[in-house]
A and B are shown apart, each in its own frame.
Chain A
Amino acid sequence: MSGISVFLREWAPYIAQAVGETFVMVGVSLAFSVAIALPLGALLVVTGPGRPRASRLVHGALNLLINLVRSLPFIILLFFMLPVTKAIAGTTIGVRGVIVPLVAYSAPYIARLIESSLLEVDRGVIEAYEAMGVRGRDLVVQVLIREARPSLLRSLTIATIGLVGATAMAGLVGAGGLGDLAYRFGFVRYENAVMYVTVALLIALVQLIQTIGNGLARRLSKGG
């Protein structure tokens, strides 16, 4: 029997499980993060100076909050947030326990990316729609966010890849995932083959995310 099939028989279940955990962690925390970050980013933009709903108070408060949370590296956030995590998720371990800190880590980051994507939209365009009597909600959703879609997708691609990195630390709370696999077997137990396979998988995953992101963004920005 070849070495490859021996290796696979021994490690395939672990690797499959780790890939699955990584997908779940990235997918679920991305969904929550975007759900929080999109309104935050839009609010940041519309309350900014010279914008339709300019408000120093709201804009300043949001800025401060986002900066505070973003000051903490994920690894610190993970431990610092334990009580909050427990209260929200009911547990602080496993995949479930890591979603809360992952969201807390990436939502403010994504909000910033979304803010800068939305700021790229020409203000004149918004003004043209304002001048036609389009209501504020539609201005944000149907014009601002719509026009920013290609840029938003590129931002989300960056954020997703960042999340893959953050999940690698999730092993610390027993959440598993590819990073954890590489650490536990590849590093601690000197299983070099596992380490190489994990690294290859991570590279493939990041490439895949980037390719899908670019493709979608390109499709939406046909006009250029």
Chain B
Amino acid sequence: MVGSAETVFALRSVGKTFGQGPGAVAALSGVSLDIRRGEILGVIGQSGAGKSTLVRCLNYLERPSSGSIEFEGTPLESLDAAGLRALRRRMGMIFQGFNLLKTATVLENVALPLRLLGFPPGEVEARSREYLGVVGLSDKLDAYPSQLSGGQKQRVAIARAIAHGPEVLLCDEATSALDPENTEAILRLIAAINERYGITVVLVTHEMRVVQAVCDRVAVLDGGELAELGAVVDVYADPRHPATRRLLAGILPREMTASLIDRLGVHGSVYSLTFRGQAAGRPALAETIKSFAVSANILAANIIELKREPFGLLVIAFSGAKAEVGRALAHLRELGVAVREWGNEHERD
């Protein structure tokens, strides 16, 4: 689901400091952001950036030391113990380590929380079976976690996290312990659950690939601060913060390109073209070169599949008469391609 305009979580200048005095660690500082109903928000950053602390503040497993968090207009700090439990029942959470009961079967792992949350026995059974079906484990009801693969364990954890019908699913590195195949399957499952039930998902990860596969928007954390926040495609097209660029370095080779440009000495005529959505699927560049008296030397090219649309980045050195290059660029823009002069590309157009 694409997020709606409605805000589920409103964070205002949220700060969290662990410890006191000289040994204190500021895990979060001054984080303000809104999480929209129905969206999948990625939270990314390097190890220690404060990602886990941020999601754990959303269900008050961690209490912010400053600032405020509102859930649907209710400030979390105003809740007493019972109010907090009621709030948590509207959320589900999954973890890197799955956190299942080893001594309970798959079915019991999903049923126990439902029972403890006060669902009547018949409904406990029905819901457990239903949601284990949703995650594709109907044939493993009586297995124990030790008999399951990592991907299957995370499926049980997902069933457990959504069986009570939460509005929000918090995922802390839910795929970090999985191999690429299982990672992809779990991400697909999370996206499908988001579509089907409209559950808002906050997905913490340190891998940009996870963000690009399923997230609508992404928040980049760096040293406990919110470095960047935006639609995934915007952030990919125009990463502004050094932390974001670092994270994208392995995916979009900007730095490599920069050193190549230096060596080739083609400064001045180099442009980055970002193709989004429709434009990525059309042979816009080939068309343009045919129609104008310019030639193009492709220095870097990359097309990746984002959640909703393909996204391409080309870095090109144009040669030809200056006016003709100008006309070619204008034509490209008409075709929906974002064109920026290299080295000057961080003025959003």
A binds B: yes
Q: Are B103 and A146 in contact (CB under 8 A)?
A: yes
Is B267 located at the chain interface by the 8 A CB criterion?
no
B302 contacts the other chain (Cβ, under 8 Å)?
A: no
| CB of B93 closer than 8 Å to a CB of A | yes
| Residues of chain A within 8 A of B282, CB atoms compared | none
Q: How far is the CA of A134 from the CA of B99 in the complex (A)?
A: 15
Residue-wise, chain A 213-224 has the 8 Å CB interface mask toward B (1 for contact) of 000000011111
| A-B residue pairs, 5 tightest by C-beta | A223-B144, A133-B88, A128-B99, A133-B85, A133-B89
Size class of the A contact interface (CB-based, 8 Å): 20 to 34
Please tell me which one of the listed residues B117, B146, B157, B161 contacts residue A133 in the complex, with CB atoms under 8 A apart: B117
* CB of A124 within 8 Å of the partner chain: yes
Decide: B105 and A124 in contact? CB cutoff 8 A.
Answer: no
CA distance A133 to B146 in the complex (A): 26
CB neighbors of B among A90-106 (8 A): none
Query: A189 an interface residue at 8 Å Cβ cutoff?
Result: no
The residue in chain A whose Cβ has the minimal distance to the Cβ of B94 is: A128
A sample of 9 inter-chain contacts (CB < 8 A) reads A124-B99, A130-B61, A131-B59, A132-B89, A132-B93, A143-B112, A146-B101, A150-B103, A224-B144
Contact B103 A131 (CB under 8 A): no
Given A222-B144, A223-B144, A224-B146: A132 and B113 interface contact (C-beta under 8 Å)? yes
Q: Which residue of A lies closest to B105 (CB)?
A: A223
Docked CA distance A30–B101 (Å)? 28
B95-A147 in contact (CB<8A): no
Say yes or no: is B116 at the interface (Cβ < 8 Å to chain A).
Answer: yes
Contact of A147 among B88, B102, B116, B157 (CB under 8 A): B102
In whole angstroms, how far apart are the Cα atoms of A133 and B61 in the complex?
10
Question: Which residues of chain B have C-beta atoms less than 8 A from A222's C-beta?
Answer: 103, 144
Given A142-B116, A147-B103: A131 and B61 within 8 A (CB)?
yes
Residues in A neighbouring B147, C-beta threshold 8 A: 223
Binary CB contact string for chain B from 73 to 105 against chain A (1 if under 8 A, 0 otherwise): 000000000001111110111010101111111
A residues within 8 Å of B by Cβ?
A: 122, 124-125, 127-135, 138, 142-143, 146-147, 149-150, 220-224
Main SS at interface, chain A: helix
* A216 CA to B47 CA, complexed, in Å: 43
User: A124 to B95, Cβ gap below 8 A?
Assistant: yes
User: Would A132 and B99 count as touching, CB distance under 8 A?
Assistant: no
Measured CB to CB, the nearest residue on chain B to A151 is: B103
Within the complex, the shortest CB–CB distance from B101 to chain A, in Å, comes to 5
User: A122 touches which one: B89, B99, B117, B164 (CB < 8 A)?
Assistant: B99
B92 touches A223 (CB 8 A): no
Which residues on B sit within 8 Å (CB–CB) of A147?
Answer: 101-104
Residues of chain A within 8 A (CB-CB) of B97 are 122, 124
Looking at the assembled complex, report how far the CB atom of A15 sits from the nearest CB atom of chain B, in whole angstroms. 40
Determine if B101 and A125 form an interchain contact, defined as CB atoms under 8 angstroms apart.
Answer: yes
The A-contacting residues of B in range 158-178, CB under 8 angstroms, are 160-161, 164, 170
Most buried by A among B93, B103, B117, B160: B103
Cβ-based interface call for B145 (8 A): yes
Contact B103 A138 (CB under 8 A): no
Told that A132-B117, A223-B145 touch, could you supply 13 new A-B pairs with CB distance under 8 A?
A127-B61, A128-B99, A128-B157, A130-B88, A131-B61, A132-B116, A147-B101, A147-B104, A220-B103, A223-B104, A223-B105, A223-B147, A224-B102
Given A132-B113, A133-B85, A133-B86: A127 and B103 interface contact (C-beta under 8 Å)? no
- Chain A neighbourhood of B100, CB < 8 A: 125
Please measure, in the bound complex, the distance between the C-alpha atom of A128 and the C-alpha atom of B99, giving whole angstroms. 7
Contact A135 B113, beta carbon cutoff 8 Å: no
| Nearest B-chain residue to A142, judged by Cβ | B116
Write the nearest CB–CB distance from A222 to chain B, whole angstroms. 6
Task: Report which residue of B61, B88, B147, B164 has the largest number of chain A beta carbons within 10 angstroms of its beta carbon.
Answer: B88
Smallest CB separation, B54 vs chain A (Å): 14
Per-residue A-contact encoding for B130-147, CB less than 8 Å = 1, 0 else: 000000000000001111
What residues of chain B lie closer than 8 Å to A125, measured between beta carbons?
99-101
Give bound CA distance, A170 to B54, whole Å: 59
Compute how far the CA of A138 lies from the CA of B114 in the bound complex, rounded to whole angstroms: 12
Are A132 and B88 in contact (CB-based, < 8 A)? yes
